[in-house]
Amino acid sequence: MKHFLSTGHLSLSQIEELLDAAMAFKANRRVTNELAGRSVALVFLNPSLRTRASMQIAVYELGGNPVLIEPGSTSWSIEYQDGVVMDGGKTEHIAEFVRVLSRYVSAIGVRTFAELKDWAHERTDPVLSAFAKYATVPVINLESAMHHPCQAMADMLTIRERFVPEKKRVLLTWAWHPKALPMAVPNSFALAAAQSGHDITIANPEGYDLDDELISQVQRCAESAGGSCRTVTEPEIAFEEADVVYAKSWAPAAFYGQPDAAHASELRDQWMVTADRMARTANGIFMHCLPVRRNVIVTDEVLDSPNSLVIDEAENRLHVQKAILASLFK
Ligand code: CP
């Protein structure tokens, strides 16, 4: 089965092929017929603006029919555990949910965030894996506990549009946030940037490292693509000569299972992306997956500057997702 769960399953040439296709869709935006006669289920277990709107429009513009499903809201709540006695609040087991959908649609997109309860369990992407296990049609990851590959592909397209296919110094920098957030976006961004051969710096406070195995995978991918990966804990060093600044907050593994865990308030100013920090870069571009907290993650001055590409990045979600969807039915 041809699922799209992480860019880690793709070769560099497959990534480049998808980016080429996305650029072609962007250059000639119209309704085509790659998904003619097909429906695609879009299962959202969590909120979304960009992913939901861009996926619905992507399916429509490829000539298909998007079917939006919100378990626990406008459709039944889902039980994931095997062998469980279902006498609680959950109505339908995932074994039936996914197999029934597979009889109706040609692909299933699913958004299922980390719950930040049990890192060892959630890092295995249990819900996404269950969708992939039971589906008899392709599954597309619309952000899971560990990965957000559609976002990462849009990020790579945004970098490529700005710099043509060229190796760049890419900074992934942690930012303070009032809430603990999952690691899917930084994981997928670091992985896709490494696969693309960029020189990556991952900057975060001590104790906030991304997953060890993920970092090892990023380092392996960077080296084999001719790039590099380093980690630093000092924001001032991190910004030096960067071509790309990608800001994102995430909670470290130690926060999982700790509902009251909060980022120390002194980290807020130390890690915000400011004009002074951007001035240390090589006229670097600013990127963020959105939604972003203004003057918490990044100042208005940076976010509203000509070097901020966040709106292009969000637009590119549509074009890369059209390329991904079309590739599943070639
Ligand atoms: N970046 C992103 O996935 O946005 P949404 O959460 O709004 O879908």
Encode pLDDT of 33-67 as tens digits: 999 999 999 999 999 999 999 999 999 999 999 99
Q: Which whole number is the average pLDDT over 88-116?
A: 97
Q: Which of 44, 49, 52 to mutate to test the pocket of ligand 1 (most atoms within 8 A of CB)?
A: 49
Q: Which two three-digit tokens encode residue 196?
A: 């693309």
CA 140, distance to chain mean position in Å, is 12
Cis peptide before 291 (omega within 30 of 0): yes
pLDDT of residue 166: 84
Q: Which two three-digit tokens encode residue 166?
A: 């060229």
Do residues 168 and 159 make contact, with C-beta atoms less than 8 angstroms apart? yes
Give the phi and the psi of residue 313 in degrees, each rounded to 5.
Answer: -60, -45
Q: Ligand 1: distance of its center to the CA of 87 in Å? A: 34
β-partners of residue 202 are 172, 231
| Contact 48 CB / ligand 1 (< 6 Å) | yes
pLDDT of residue 165: 75
| Contact 147 CB / ligand 1 (< 6 Å) | no
| Contact 51 CB / ligand 1 (< 6 Å) | yes
Average pLDDT over the chain, rounded to an integer: 97
The full set of domains in the chain, from first to last, is 7-147+315-328 (3.40.50.1370), 152-313 (3.40.50.1370)
What is the signed CA dihedral for 275, 279, 284, 287, rounded to 10 degrees? -20
Closest residue to atom 4 of ligand 1, CA basis: 50
Q: How far apart are CA 184 and CA 274, in angstroms?
A: 24
pLDDT band at 236 (very low <50, low <70, confident <90, very high): confident
- Tell me the per-residue pLDDT of 142-174, one tens digit each, with 9 for 90 and over: 999 999 999 999 999 999 999 987 899 999 999
Number of H helices, E strands in the chain: 13, 11
Size of the chain in residues: 330
